Amino acid sequence: MSDIVQDPASSLVQQLAEAASSVLSQVAGATLQAQPVPLGTPIQAATLIRIDISGALEGACEIALSAPMTAQFAALLTGEPPEPEGEISSDTSEAAVELIQQICGNAADRLRGVFGPLELKPRLAERDPASGERQCLLIPRDGGALDFELHILRLTSPAKPAAAAQPTPQPAVQPAAKPANAAAAQSSNRNLDLLLDIELGVTLRFGTRHMPLKDILELCSGSVVELDRRVEEPVDLLIDGRLIAQGEVVIVEGNYGLRILQVAAQGEKIACLP
């Protein structure tokens, strides 16, 4: 067993650092390399994110961003200049949280390759970080550095139960297939093959809202329309108005993408075909 598997905490720090490097480099359009460094004084958290870990690893950790770093992370995601120092707005905090969620999603993919199936579920927490040993992930870049605090609250690798001895299965006697059924199944497969190259319009739905006509007529540049879905909730993937999957928004080479978290049944997907 490799050292990385023997030490889940070190592996978590390493994979979060690599995920931060990958995601921030894509967003910034430049190579950024995150590295763990000792943390002298705990960060005064303006944005605190709790990450619950389940599956092949179980535990929780926290990521803390100072007010200046919250503004810097939000600016990276939105492409706008960071807010001046002071009280950060809710939009700025939500943008920073979205970027951290993308880093967690990337880290989860990397950790699955080492430990097996697991989930990282980030959520905005109260600004009251727990005490204990902390580490800083530092991301040097031109004109200054980005950093955030990582605090592992607890982390364990659940012991896998020993597999019970199973009796040797006896080969089942398969009834002879009826020619009529075989022909019908073959015909159905051919019909489906004819549809597989058809292009369909795919829509991402971040949320909805019902508005009076008078409010719609008053919309102008700079207006903000609040939707019925929080930023940490999954978005919908629609085909022809039908919901077929849900997932989280990611950035892929500067473009929006969707990491699928839940998929509809096969019959519901086929029902979307023309």
Residue 223 belongs to domain spanning:
199-270
Could you tell me which residue, 68 or 42, shows the higher pLDDT?
68
State how many domains the chain has.
2
> Are 42 and 132 found together in one domain?
yes
Per-residue pLDDT at 194 exceeds 80? no
Domain boundary (156, 186, 214) is at 156
**Quick check: is 161 in a domain?**
no
Asked whether residue 110 falls in the same domain as residue 234, the answer is: no
How far is it, in rounded angstroms, from Cα 257 to Cα 250?
Answer: 5
171, part of any domain: no
Instruction: Work out the average pLDDT over 22-40.
Output: 86
- Give the global pTM: 0.56
In a domain, 40, yes or no: yes
Percent of the chain with pLDDT over 70: 77
CATH number assigned to the domain comprising residue 241:
2.30.330.10
pLDDT single digits (tens) 145-170: 888 888 888 888 876 544 444 555 55
Q: Is 126 inside any structural domain?
A: yes
The CATH number for 148's domain is 3.40.1550.10
Q: Are residues 152 and 209 in the same domain?
A: no
What does the pLDDT read at residue 53? 92
Residues 30, 123 within the same domain: yes
